[in-house]
Structure 1
Amino acid sequence: MVELTKPTDDSREILHAVAQAFVAIYGPHYRFMKAGVMLIDLIDANRQQLSLLDTAQTAADRERGERLMATLDELNRQMGRGTVKLGMPTPNAAWHLRCANRSPRWTTRWEDLPRITVR
């Protein structure tokens, strides 16, 4: 378990914590196929407890990070989900999700709805 030093919604900080966790559990003779991330102790951004140790520099960094994440979210909203990503996965990596036996997602994806044609 990796605990963040302060509450954040910055993807870069979360990915940094994920990398720390992986380094902690990595074993040279083990093959990893898939991993998950659990987010616990979530709080509303407007109700977070600020630190007395924050400086003008950390406030400026936080504001810059918020603008960056807002821009990334806006680009993905306008141009389609996954248009802008942090890092690029290998296209044919062995660890990609295997969806061959997945059931249809009728309740969450329009393209998975059954189509009926009338003749």
Structure 2
Amino acid sequence: MSRSFADRVAGHDAVAQALATFAVRACEKLRARGLVASGLWVFAHSDTFRPELPQHNATRSVVLPKATSDTTLVLGTVRQLLRGLLRDGIGYKKAGVALLDLAKPHDLQADLFAPAVVGNDALMATLDQINRKFGRGMAGLGASSWQDKPAWGMRQHMLSPNYTTSVHELPRARC
């Protein structure tokens, strides 16, 4: 998952929160499809359309020790990849997280002494169940922060109506 920010974000904490939020959502989608990931890629880009500003495009990837769909393990890896990735004085305009080498857990090559997949499946199932019942983001992990309007949020004031997916947004005709 990746998003362009509404404004340039210079704070390392804000970029880290954005990446954590993207990782949480990517893991939710992974579990919904019954998949696990064996690799992770993170990136942050400055505003290339403003060449007069300092530029920095950063990217890092890693192969995970074991395949997982556990958000806590993915967030720990994102935090490790962020160490030294961002530079001071740079306004980042876009950041993202990608889960790599996706597979069904039963298709993975097993190890003789350890399982092919790691993670706390019960915790993740409970978290997903709470969010399905009460709405996305009702329960989560602190790394992604729970702000209504985070510094890294998108601009959505020109968002198109959802005529095809939401009955409440259908235009009303009056005579």
Identify the match of residue 69 of structure 2 among 9, 14, 23.
9
Structure 2 equivalent of residue 44 of structure 1: 104
Aligned partners of 1:72 and 1:84 also within 8 Å = yes
Change (3 A) 1:49 1:83: same
Higher mean C-alpha displacement, 89-98 vs 2-11: 89-98
TM-score by length of 1: 0.74
For residues 166 and 101 of structure 2, the distance between their equivalents in structure 1, rounded to whole angstroms, comes to 33
Structure 2 equivalent of residue 98 of structure 1: 155
| Residue 66 of structure 2 is aligned to residue 66 of structure 1 | no
Structure 1 equivalent of residue 81 of structure 2: 21
TM-score by length of 2: 0.54
More strand by share: 2
Aligned residue pairs, count? 112
| Greater C-alpha radius of gyration | 1
Structure 2 equivalent of residue 30 of structure 1: 90
| Residue 135 of structure 2 is aligned to residue 75 of structure 1 | no
What displacement does 1:92 show?
A: 3.4
Structure 2 equivalent of residue 54 of structure 1: 114
More helix by share: 1
Instruction: Point out where structure 2 has 5 or more consecutive residues left out of the alignment.
Output: 1-60
What displacement does 1:111 show?
A: 5.9
Change (3 A) 1:114 1:32: same
What displacement does 1:16 show?
A: 1.6
Cα deviation code 1:36-81 (max 9, x no counterpart): 11122100122122333428xxx9x74xx11000000111111112
Higher mean C-alpha displacement, 43-52 vs 73-82: 43-52
For residues 79 and 169 of structure 2, the distance between their equivalents in structure 1, rounded to whole angstroms, comes to 38
| Percent sequence identity over aligned pairs | 32
Greater relative CO (CA pairs within 8 A, separation 6+): 2
Change (3 A) 1:70 1:82: same
